[in-house]
Amino acid sequence: MLEIENLSVNYKAIKALLNISCRVDQGEIVALIGANGAGKTTTLNAISGIVPPAAGKISFEGEEITRMSPHKIVMKGISQVPEGRRVFAKMSVLENLEMGAYIRSDKKGIVAEIDRIFQLFPRLAERRKQLAKTLSGGEQQMLAMGRALMSRPRLILLDEPSMGLAPMLVEKIFEIIQEINREGTTVMLVEQNAHMALSIAHRAYVLETGEVVLQGPAAELAANPEVRKAYLGE
């Protein structure tokens, strides 16, 4: 579904990504794990068209999207849930969701999608008229995910969905990620909580200083002594 070939990204003199290659197959949850500054967010931002690659190629469903503008990439079927949630603070929950549907014009379909989001996240239904800035961190994360789902993506990019959340909420968010996946959305997941990420992913890539150093089935990586020591605190 998604193929990244020899992708490099520079921030002026800093080489953020160095010739990375990875792929996401339809229906998978693929995790990117690694320390801060490893290049995980940069990878997602390059896929979304937010940062320009210095070299390499990104293809989605057989079509090259390497230098496509971000809104066109959303129209192709890729949505990103950014690190830090980035909800529209002065808009209500409902208005945030409507913003997520900005590429759509099917009014009945949008209403049905909002209902589906409210079923997936009952807390958002209770707070539909509240301003986003008044929500808790966990509720804002749910809203950011709901907003991204409003464009009906075939691939959703999740950047640190568990960041700053209480352990009980982290489990809930990961259950919802699995549910979204079961309903047919392919997932690429960037996550500091490597243990949780590897527990739900089908495959994973380990990034270190902008390079892929390990890859394979998530269960294998979770059992790998190097990974356990470096990322699982064992």
pLDDT digits 0-9 by tens, 49-106: 999 999 999 999 999 999 899 999 999 999 999 886 788 888 999 999 988 888 888 8
Helices (H), ranges, 89-166 = 93-100, 107-120, 122-126, 137-149
Higher pLDDT, 233 or 158: 158
The Cα 20–Cα 47 span in angstroms is: 12
Provide the pLDDT confidence category of residue 219 given band limits of 50, 70 and 90: very high
Please tell me the pTM assigned to this model: 0.90
Average pLDDT over residues 170-196: 91
> Rounded mean pLDDT of 156-172?
88
- State pLDDT tens for residues 96-142: 998 888 888 888 988 989 999 999 888 899 989 989 999 988 889 88
Q: How many whole angstroms separate alpha carbon 25 and alpha carbon 16?
A: 25
| Total number of domains constituting the chain | 1
pLDDT at position 137 is 82
**Could you tell me which of 151, 128, 154 has the C-alpha nearest to residue 60?**
154
Helices (H), the chain: 40-47, 70-76, 93-100, 107-120, 122-126, 137-149, 167-182, 194-200, 218-223, 225-231
Say which CATH number the domain at 116 has.
3.40.50.300
Angle ∠(159,78,66) on CA atoms, nearest 5? 95
Helix, coil or strand: residue 107: helix
186 vs 151: which has the higher pLDDT: 186
Which of 9-18, 106-115, 187-196, 224-233 has the least mean pLDDT?
A: 224-233
Q: What is the mean pLDDT of residues 195-199?
A: 91
Query: What would the pLDDT profile of 19-36 be if each residue is shown by its tens digit?
Result: 999 999 999 999 999 888
- How far apart (Å, rounded) are the C-alpha atoms in residues 196 and 178? 12
State pLDDT tens for residues 142-153: 899 999 999 899
Confidence of residue 233 (pLDDT cuts 50, 70, 90): low
Structural domain including 170 reads: 2-231
